[in-house]
Chain A
Amino acid sequence: MGAVAEQVPVDLARQREVAAALRAFLPESSVLYDHEDVKPYECDGLTAYRQVPMVVALPETEDQVCRILRTCHRMRVPVVARGAGTGLSGGALPLGNGVLLSLAKFTRIVAIDARARTARVQPGVRNLAISDAVAPLGLYYAPDPSSQLACSIGGNVAENSGGIHCLKYGLTVHNILKLRIVTIEGDIVEIGSEALDSAGYDLLALMTGSEGLLGVTIEVTVRLLPKPEYAQVVMAAFDDIEKAGQAVANVIAAGIIPSGFEMMDQAATRAVEDYARAGYRTDVAAVLLCESDGTQEEVAGEIRRVQDVMEKSGAVQTEVSRDEAQRLRFWAGRKAAFPAAGAISPDYYCMDGTIPRKHIGTVLRRIVQLEDKYGLRCANVFHAGDGNLHPLILYDANRPGELARTEAFGAEILELCLEVGGTITGEHGVGVEKINQMCAQFKPAELETFHAVKHAFDEHGLLNPGKAVPTLHRCAEFGRMHVHAGRNKFPDLPRF
């Protein structure tokens, strides 16, 4: 799907009808429809795709959320939920005939239970705000997407967000205990509990990463972990991508599970050094950041072993963070990779696929070939620990045809991920961005199963329609074939 060039014109009569229905129980300031009021909501972090919503609703209470959904259900109005709007796959892209349901006012941390190590938070609470609030208790909330300063926990649940530390500490799904959600019919359902499991199906896992298609989250109970006493980072430079990839495998083979393990290619380190001055080598093919956390003795021992592995794997240089400030600086560089790309290019397109770690060399070499094919540069940051790859394709939207070439480049990277046995999205979600590639990752019967799951929650398809799971019709139009996981494409098979 290409960026929406022309926005859907507003059906004024419908807009009036829906706004009036919501105004029956929401104050004036909570129902927006004038163009200049709704325009700020026209996109999320995927700014190439914009659509002004018909109406924006800004509830403040659970009861209001229930009534909004009940009203929309009755009137068959589609609903798109939005947290902080930082998502990178267009999950919160509005519909021209729908209500944009903003949870931005739900910013309360409802309760913190230090002894049981949990916190009940509203969906609009920022990810980092949770850790900040519980830091005095020696606790923190582990999933740390790079946008954690701004992104909301409700959005994290919708996307099953990860972050740099998820190899050791898990994704959102591993760090939440309970959800209060509202169904499209306006009913509150409690999923999960304060215990470690609950009876019946694992709906907590099903809801997490469901991209706003199954229900609207109005409260999350998160798990808090004890803050590690100490952490240190090894930065290792490699003159060859393959060697760097092998070094990653060697660290894991040594029985080490780093708390953070990242790779940046030369294009990425150059962009970051200019922007953030983190202290990376910029004259080498790849830089690895490997973090160890725990007690001082544990960390000292593990860092020594990591350095040893890096050196034996052919690192041209290794450097260990000498204090907390330097450790944070090493990470600040990596976390600034996206804005750094933004500084060296008018636009950038951040991809998100996961591959088995062992194929990183192959994939990065292919991406270099694709740079030539599409005439575009691509910097790469890679969650070496878990195989999640973020190619950053640099482009200029003002140059005719460049956005289209960028998207084609991105699509080819995603299919490459499938070819080597991976997946099209590791943490950003499918949204609108990768919906076509879902046709390549899943076969029709599997997509039908997803639709059946959706139907079980939302009979009329009102929650975030057009996102995450393509219709079979769309797949047929798009003409993409199912690329069976781990096997090569069969180019001689007929297409739909």
Chain B
Amino acid sequence: MQEIIENLSRTIREAAARKRALCIRGGGTKDFYGGAIHGDKLSTAGYRGIVDYEPTELVITARAGTPLAEIEAALREKGQMLAFEPPHFGEGATLGGCVAAGLSGPRRPYAGAVRDFVLGVRVIDGKGDHLRFGGQVMKNVAGYDVSRLMTGSLGTLGALTEISLKVLPVPAAETTLRLKRTETEAIAAMNEWAGKPLPITATTFRNGDLGVRLSGARSAVEAATKKLGGAVVDPVEAARFWTSIREQADPFFSGDTPLWRLSVKPTTPPLDLSGDQLIEWSGALRWLKSGADAKSIRDAAVRAGGHATLFRGRDKSSGAFQPLAPELMKLHNNLKRAFDPAGIFNPGRLYPDL
């Protein structure tokens, strides 16, 4: 395993010397996401394996090339889970790609995002140095939070080699309810519930159908079921449904129309944008299937206190991610230079100059 690290370091150093772009890749399941891929493939797939897993410490440490499925199976065996419910988007999804892409699933607003669970990383930087930031403990404020900076950076700051994540127990009970609401009613209801101590772990709204997942102690789930009302969904069907939302296998996500991801203030009223919408995260996540122009979608997202990402679409000439304010972009450029002076890591994946 150490040999793999040395090979990766050497490749990176050579690429830096020749200013040749590298494309860091695990299973390639997030290839569709972000800017176009450039450069020679730097594969992390061979660097795999769970390094340390202590259920009573609530920590798992694994190499970046470890399949996400392998990690989830190991956790399930001990009655634990990755509480941020990451989408795989394909069979070969690796832990490194999961953290680098920084995508979280339906549970995110209620349990936390990927980055909330990242405790530490090992990473090879643009000079080929193998570095460790953070650790294996939750309370750790020594130095800057570089491991969380790496999360969601789409490989533009370094090649992740090892990640430590906090894990949580699988809830004792789970029930999904289905209610009929208008969009306005649904947004209001989801936000009202979020302000109450209810064991909600996922919400979806589309075309008059509001789905709510309750997870936790049996007594809490039963009490909440009575409070919220609606129809109880068959557990097998419910599990299938939430998986299809997480993995975007649900029919809403299919087709060639561009898929936009609008991350907005949760109480944002129905967005006046042409196209089909699916709401998650108690209103904080609005998926939009639309051929409308990027500018109008992005402006609407900003007005709603957030940002819009062209999540899936063939034409990304206007960029995948919301442009940043100049002062913010300046900081991004400075940080990029700090970690990747030769600019070889996944150039253009996040922003044209990064």
Residues of A within 8 A of B (CB): 113-117, 137-139, 159-160, 162, 166-167, 170-171, 173-174, 183, 187-191, 193-203, 205-206, 208-210, 214, 226-229, 249-250, 252-253, 255-257, 294-295, 297-298, 301-302, 354-358, 383, 386-388, 421-430, 434, 438, 441-443, 445-446, 449-450, 452-457, 468-469, 485-486
Stretch from B41-49, B245-253, B259-267, B288-296 forming part of the interface with A:
B259-267
B144 and A249 within 8 A (CB): no
Given A255-B172, A453-B149, list of 19 further CB < 8 A pairs?
A113-B267, A114-B195, A138-B196, A167-B138, A183-B327, A195-B307, A196-B266, A197-B152, A197-B263, A202-B115, A202-B148, A226-B194, A252-B55, A252-B57, A297-B219, A356-B54, A430-B143, A449-B339, A456-B338
> What CA separation (Å) do A421 and B264 show in the bound complex?
39
Count of interface residues, chain B, beta-carbon cutoff 8 Å: 83
28 contacts between A and B (CB under 8 A): A113-B267, A115-B191, A138-B196, A171-B139, A174-B112, A188-B327, A196-B281, A199-B321, A200-B324, A200-B351, A201-B152, A201-B153, A226-B196, A255-B79, A257-B169, A297-B217, A354-B135, A354-B137, A354-B138, A356-B136, A357-B56, A421-B135, A423-B140, A426-B137, A441-B143, A449-B131, A456-B334, A485-B132
With a cutoff of 8 Å between Cβ atoms, the chain A residues found around residue B58 in the complex are 252
Contact A198 B145 (CB under 8 A): no
Report A309 CB to chain B, min CB distance, Å: 12
Partner of B305, one of A193, A358, A388: A193
User: A300 → chain B, closest Cβ, in Å?
Assistant: 8
Tell me if B129 is interfacial: C-beta within 8 Å of chain A. Answer: yes
- Nearest CB in chain A to that of B264: its residue: A195
Q: Which of A115, A297, A357, A438 has the most CB of B within 10 A?
A: A115
A198, A205, A249, A295: which contacts B149 (Cβ < 8 A)? A205
Report how far A197 CA is from B308 CA in the complex, Å: 11
- With beta carbons under 8 angstroms apart, the residue of A256, A295, A297 that contacts B197 is A295
Q: Are A386 and B195 in contact (CB under 8 A)?
A: no
Q: Which has the most chain B C-beta neighbours within 10 Å: A159, A357, A428?
A: A357
A383 to B125, CA, bound (A): 34
| Chain B residues with CB under 8 A of A453 | 144, 146, 149, 335, 338
Inter-subunit contact B327/A193 (CB<8 Å): no
Minimum distance in angstroms from A336 CB to a CB of chain B: 21
- Give Cα distance in the complex from A114 to B267, angstroms: 10
The reply on B151 being an interface residue by CB < 8 A is yes
Task: Specify which chain B residues have a CB less than 8 angstroms from the CB of A426 in the assembled complex.
Answer: 137, 139-141
Whether the Cβ atoms of B220 and A295 lie closer than 8 Å is yes
Interface centre among A188, A199, A445, A486 (most CB of B within 10 A): A199
- Decide: B113 and A226 in contact? CB cutoff 8 A: no
A202 & B152 in contact (Cβ 8 Å cutoff): yes
In the bound complex, residues from chain A placing their C-beta under 8 Å from that of B148 are 173, 202, 205-206
> CA–CA, A105 to B233, complex, Å?
54
Tell whether B1 is near chain A: CB-to-CB under 8 Å: no
Q: Known: A173-B145, A206-B144, A430-B142. Contact between A253 and B137, CB under 8 A?
A: no
Q: Are A198 and B306 in contact (CB under 8 A)?
A: yes
A382–B306 Cα distance when bound, in Å, is: 39
Q: How far is the CA of A208 from the CA of B140 in the complex (A)?
A: 12
Interface residues of B in 262-285 (CB under 8 A from A): 263-267, 281, 284-285
Using Cβ atoms and an 8 Å threshold, which residues of chain B touch A202? 102, 115, 148-149, 151-153
Partner pick for A116 among B54, B191, B263, B307, CB 8 A cutoff? B191
Identify which of residues 223-241 in chain B touch chain A, using a CB-to-CB cut-off of 8 Å: 223
Among candidates B57, B285, B331, residue contacting A203 with C-beta atoms closer than 8 Å: B331
B-chain residues with CB within 8 Å of residue A197 when the two chains form the complex? 113, 152, 263
Provide the B303-314 mask, 1 if CB < 8 A to any CB of A, else 0.
Answer: 011110100000
Residue of B nearest to A459 (CB): B334
- Interface centre among B108, B192, B197, B324, by most chain A C-beta atoms within 10 angstroms, is B197
Residue pair A455, B263 in contact (C-beta under 8 Å): no
Assess whether B172 is in contact with A452, with CB atoms less than 8 Å apart. no
Distance in angstroms from B84 CB to nearest chain A CB is 12
B216 contacts the other chain (Cβ, under 8 Å)?
yes
Closest CB in chain A relative to B251 CB, distance in Å: 25
CB–CB A190/B56 < 8 A: no
Q: How far is the CA of A354 from the CA of B264 in the complex (A)?
A: 36
CB pair B306 A441 closer than 8 Å: no
Contact residue among A386, A428, A430, A456 (Cβ-Cβ distance under 8 Å from B138): A386
- List of A residues within 8 angstroms of B55 by Cβ: 252-253
The chain B residue sitting closest to A355, CB to CB, is B137
A357 to B59, CA, bound (A): 11
Q: Please tell me if the beta carbons of B56 and A206 are within 8 angstroms of each other in the complex.
A: no
The answer for the CA separation of A228 and B216 in the assembled complex, in Å, is: 14
A423: chain B residues within 8 A (beta carbon): 135, 137, 139-142
Bound state CA distance, A453 and B153, in angstroms?
15
Question: B137: which of A227, A387, A434 is its contact (CB, 8 Å)?
Answer: A387
Cα distance, A353 to B138, chains bound together (Å): 12
List, in ascending order, chain B residues with CB within 8 A of A226's CB.
194-198
Please tell me if the beta carbons of B339 and A209 are within 8 angstroms of each other in the complex.
Answer: no
A178: min CB distance to chain B, Å: 9
Of residues 105 through 145 on chain B, the ones whose CB sits less than 8 Å from some CB of chain A are 108-109, 112-113, 115-116, 125, 127, 129, 131-133, 135-145
Q: Does B322 contact A (CB under 8 A)?
A: yes
Task: Contact check, A356 vs B57: say whether CB atoms are below 8 A apart.
Answer: yes
Give the residue name and chain of the A residue nearest to B138 (CB).
A386
Chain B nearest CB, measured from A120 CB (Å):
12
Interchain CB contact under 8 A, B332 and A200: yes
8 closest A-B pairs by CB: A195-B306, A426-B139, A456-B334, A205-B148, A452-B338, A194-B305, A297-B219, A255-B169
**C-beta contact mask, B55-84 vs A, less than 8 Å → 1, else 0?**
111110000000000000000000100000
B267 touches A115 (CB 8 A): yes
* Complex partner residue of A354 from B112, B133, B140, B322, CB under 8 angstroms: B140
Given A116-B265, A170-B116, A357-B56, A456 contacting B327 (CB threshold 8 A): no
Pair A195/B305 contact, Cβ less than 8 Å: yes
> Are A196 and B335 touching (Cβ within 8 A)?
no
* Residues in A neighbouring B143, C-beta threshold 8 A: 430, 438, 441-442, 446, 450, 468-469
> What chain B residues lie within 8 Å of A252 (beta carbons)?
55-58
For B149, the chain A residues whose CB sits under 8 A away are 201-203, 205-206, 453
Q: Are B263 and A200 in contact (CB under 8 A)?
A: no
Would A196 and B137 count as touching, CB distance under 8 A? Answer: no
Contacts of A441 in B (CB 8 A): 142-143
B23 at interface by CB-CB < 8 Å? no
| Contact flag A456-B135 (CB < 8 Å), given A116-B265, A205-B149, A226-B195 | no
> A117 contacts B141, CB within 8 Å?
no
B250, chain A: closest CB distance, angstroms: 21
Among B125, B265, B351, which residue has the most Cβ atoms of chain A within 10 A? Answer: B265
Query: Bound state CA distance, A443 and B125, in angstroms?
Result: 14
B168 at the interface (CB under 8 A from A): yes
CB under 8 Å from chain A, chain B span 316-335 = 321-325, 327-328, 331-332, 334-335
* Cβ contacts under 8 Å, A434 to chain B: 142
Task: Evaluate contact between B141 and A455: CB separation under 8 angstroms.
Answer: no
- Output the least CB separation between A297 and chain B (Å): 4
